[in-house]
Amino acid sequence: MARIDLVDLAQSYSGNDAPLESFALKPVTMTWRQGGAYALLGPSGCGKTTLLNLISGIVTPSRGQILFDGKDITPLSTQKRNIAQVFQFPVIYDTMTVGENLAFPLKNRGIARAEVDARVKQIAGLLDLTPYLNRKATRLTADAKQKISLGRGLVRSDVAAVLFDEPLTVIDPELKWQLRSKLKALHRELDLTMIYVTHDQTEALTFADTVVVMHDGRVVQSGTPAELFDKPAHTFVGYFIGSPGMNIVPAEVSGHEARIDGHVIGLRRNYGVLPAGKKIEIGVRPEFVDVAPPASGLLSATIERIDDLGRIQFARVRVGNTKLAARVPPGFSVSGDTAGLVFNPAYVHVYADSHLVEGVA
Amino acid sequence: MDKTINQKAWFLVLPVFLVVAFSAVLPLMTVVNYSMQDTFGNNQFFWNGVGWFKELLDPSTDLGGRFLASLGRNLFFSAVILAIEVPLGIVVALSMPREGWSVAACLVILALPLLIPWNVVGTIWQIFGRPDIGLLGYVLNHLGFNYNYVSNEVDAWVTVIVMDVWHWTSLVALLCYAGLKSIPDAYYQAAQIDGASRWAVFKAIQLPKMNRVLLIAVLLRFMDSFMIYTEPFVVTGGGPGNSTTFVSIELVKIALGQFDLGKAAALSLVYNLIILIVCWVFYTVMTNAGTERKAVAQGEPAAEPKPAAAPKPAGVLKPKEGVA
């Protein structure tokens, strides 16, 4: 159990001299606190598995340090790091029973028999594996095998962190929910630091109290699900989290006003004069834009179609060449395909070169 | 479902039937025919019933004594080379690199002995071991070992065994290497995470995953070593005395040396039968172990009857089927 600090950690698979842009993981400095439930979220190839493998020691970093409780463990091998990791596909030791599989990480570390048995019993109970303890591990379904893999990750009580690398990929959707809530419950019960890699935002947002979003080898934001939703630090976060994603519209911004195609939208904060030469955009989530009957004070848009998500309806609209999604208020109706857009100024954010600009209140 | 009855379909089987008849059944029946008769030359034959077979299995007769002695030597030889080649092959496979140009280099070097014709292998070792001009024999004698495979039984055995190990360990190593390569990296990473020692990784991951290929390797090596003829014949000619006369060498002596067709036919039938039975047992054990594991892995109840692993003798001759 430990606090994990990453100091300027970076990884390049094509040598340390390669240009920084080609690094699989660009230098990152961050802290994972003891006992936290983290999700590492990002699309395939964004470097999240690399980051995980660096922490567990399967990959040796090109640059930087990893500290467990302030102690530099970068040169240590995986075995000596005291870390547990669960992989995407189940790894089962074929010749052993389920119980022996669970006991394997403990036995390898020379832990006393009685303690091993107690711990295996506890973990098997938590994962509903007790009836299978004496059965050969090969004789089970993929779900059960992955549960064993999870169990092996959780069985050691002294680990600095348990790392999950998309562990529920092979599991049926229905069982996924159960296992995820189970993991969440285990997290509360066992007081372990857990880092959960996934490309599925639902999985990340339901599992973690802190979500770390990665994009193109960089950590672009880390925060609670609410923070990611309300105030994305990067246009990628806005776009990646939420369904549909955030509307990103090129605009001119000065002071309290943003200008789209000559139309002025009020902003809550004062942005003064933004540096020239940067790409300025405003971002607003579809939930905070309403369509309304066309009126002279509103930005007018062309409605292309309306998606009915059951609980809520989103209109897909076009302003000039930019496509947006906007909420359809209950009882809205309009003749023709032209509508006005009503923005909620509190949730309109300004981005310069994709990064959030904090205005002055 | 109604099936159209069309007896003409039998004609489709005819070509195979003819080929098999002429290539296998007729020669085999000729041998069976010979095994029941005796001849004193001049192409005159006399009915002998199962006389040869009785004699063959009776150690007090000349034929039986020779057969059983050579059979014993053959079994001992197979056991020794299996005990050496299988562990050695595993060790070689484990120490081979997993990627890079050196993989290709290793594979080529390992494949070399397998590409050399049997009699050339025999000749190589025959010369290599000679005390007068062979590098091995000369050096050993120079160092004070009285090594001579022509006069000393132990030396002859050691030479034949070392030669077989040199020739065939590569096969076991290559098969094991293929098995090792098929293990996903995640297994090794998981083992690292679980803190497994090198030995534990071997026992828990590598050996179980090599299981299938190892059984195939054992099967192939057993069959081949049990039928061995060319190499020991070229090196020692079965001597000194009869000490390295294996069953096949004995068979050739009787059939072509003495031209005792009846005895030779009986011996070759029994010889064939032994190989078939041993391989059949092996094959059955292998496939049953395999199907059981597979059936259960797919989540089927274990009580469900296994697909009858009816091991046709033909399957024995195609051990590669087991790889699939």
Q: Do B186 and A94 touch (CB under 8 A)?
A: no
Q: Which of residues 150-189 of A touch B (CB under 8 A)?
A: 152-153
A87 membership: H or E segment, kind and range: none
State the count of interchain CB pairs (< 8 A) between A and B: 61
User: A6 and A195 in contact (C-beta within 8 Å)?
Assistant: no
Among residues of chain B, what percentage have pLDDT more than 70?
88
Mapping DSSP onto H, E and C, the string for chain B reads CCCCCCHHHHHHHHHHHHHHHHHHHHHHHHHHHHHCEEECCCCCEEECCCHHHHHHCCCCCHHHHHHHHHHHHHHHHHHHHHHHHHHHHHHHHHHCCCCCHHHHHHHHHHHHHHHCCHHHHHHHHHHHCCCCCCHHHHHHHHCCCCCCCCCCHHHHHHHHHHHHHHHHHHHHHHHHHHHHHCCCHHHHHHHHHCCCCHHHHHHHHHHHHHHHHHHHHHHHHHHHHHCCCHHHHHHCCCCCCCCCCCHHHHHHHHHHHCCCHHHHHHHHHHHHHHHHHHHHHHHHHHHHHHHHHHHHHCCCCCCCCCCCCCCCHHHHHCHHHHHC
Answer yes or no: is pLDDT of B155 > 90: no
Q: Do B190 and A108 touch (CB under 8 A)?
A: no
- Tell me whether A60 touches chain B (CB under 8 Å): no
pLDDT band at B81 (very low <50, low <70, confident <90, very high): very high
User: A107 and A94 in contact (C-beta within 8 Å)?
Assistant: no
* Cα distances (angstroms) measured from residue B106 to each of A257, A360, B100, B174, B220: 70, 68, 11, 10, 22
User: What are residue A40's phi and psi, to 5 degrees?
Assistant: -105, 110
Q: What is the DSSP letter of A139?
A: G
Provide the residue type at B216 as one letter. I
Q: Taking the alpha carbons of B173, B176, B181, B186 in that order, is the dihedral positive or negative? A: negative
Nearest to A87 among B190, B208, B297 (CB): B190
Q: In chain B, which residues touch A (CB < 8 A)?
A: 184, 186-187, 189-190, 192-197, 200, 203-205, 207-209, 293, 296-297, 299, 302
Best of A58, A100, A148, A158 to disrupt the B interface (most B CBs within 10 Å) is A58
Q: Taking the alpha carbons of A348, A351, A356, A358 in that order, is the dihedral positive or negative? A: negative
Q: Reduce the DSSP state of residue A252 to 3 states and report it.
A: strand
Output the DSSP codes for A89-136.
S----TTSBHHHHHHHHHHTTT--HHHHHHHHHHHHHHTT-GGGTTSB
Provide the residue type at A49 as one letter. T
Q: What is the mean pLDDT of chain B?
A: 82
- Tell me whether A87 touches chain B (CB under 8 Å): yes
Answer yes or no: is pLDDT of B165 > 60: yes
Answer yes or no: is pLDDT of B289 > 70: no
- Tell me whether A240 touches chain B (CB under 8 Å): no
Half-sphere exposure of A218 (CA within 13 A, CB side): 11
pLDDT, residue A126, reads: 83
Burial of B147 (0-12, 13-18, 19+ CB in 10 A): buried
Nearest to B297 among A108, A138, A149 (CB): A138
pLDDT digits (tens, 9 = 90+) for B175-217: 999 999 988 888 988 888 888 888 888 988 898 888 888 888 8
pLDDT, residue B55, reads: 83
Shortest CA distance from B302: residue in chain A: A139
Answer yes or no: is pLDDT of B308 > 50: no
Paired strand residues for A254: A257, A273
Best of A100, A135, A139 to disrupt the B interface (most B CBs within 10 Å) is A139
Nearest CA to A195 among A49, A70, A312, A324?
A: A49
Answer yes or no: is pLDDT of B296 > 80: no
Query: Cβ contacts (< 8 Å) between B212 and chain A: which residues?
Result: none
User: What are residue A273's phi and psi, to 5 degrees?
Assistant: -110, 120
pLDDT band at B319 (very low <50, low <70, confident <90, very high): very low
Name the minimum distance, in Å, from the CA of B79 to any CA of chain A: 26
Q: Do A105 and B193 touch (CB under 8 A)?
A: yes
Q: Do B196 and A96 touch (CB under 8 A)?
A: no
Is the pTM higher than 0.90? The answer reads no
Those residues with Cβ within 8 angstroms of residue A194's Cβ, 6 or more apart along the chain or in another chain: A36, A37, A38, A161, A162, A163, A164, A183, A187
**What is chain A's pLDDT, residue by residue, as a tens digit (361 residues)?**
578 888 888 888 887 777 888 888 888 888 888 888 899 888 888 888 888 888 888 888 888 888 888 888 888 888 888 888 888 888 888 888 888 889 998 888 888 888 899 889 888 888 888 888 888 888 788 888 888 888 888 888 888 888 898 888 878 888 888 888 888 888 888 788 899 998 888 888 888 889 999 988 888 898 898 888 888 899 999 888 888 889 988 888 888 888 888 788 888 888 887 777 888 888 999 989 988 888 877 888 888 888 888 888 899 998 888 888 999 888 887 778 888 888 888 888 888 888 888 878 7
Q: Do A91 and B186 touch (CB under 8 A)?
A: yes
- Tell me whether A140 touches chain B (CB under 8 Å): yes
pLDDT, residue B321, reads: 37
- Lowest mean pLDDT: which of A137-146, B162-171, B303-312? B303-312
User: What are residue A76's phi and psi, to 5 degrees?
Assistant: -75, 150
Q: What is the DSSP letter of A274?
A: P
Answer yes or no: is pLDDT of B301 > 70: no
Ranges A81-85, A319-323, B5-9, B87-91, most confident: B87-91
- The counts of H helices and E strands in chain A are 9, 22
Q: Is the peptide bond before B240 cis (omega within 30 degrees of 0)?
A: yes
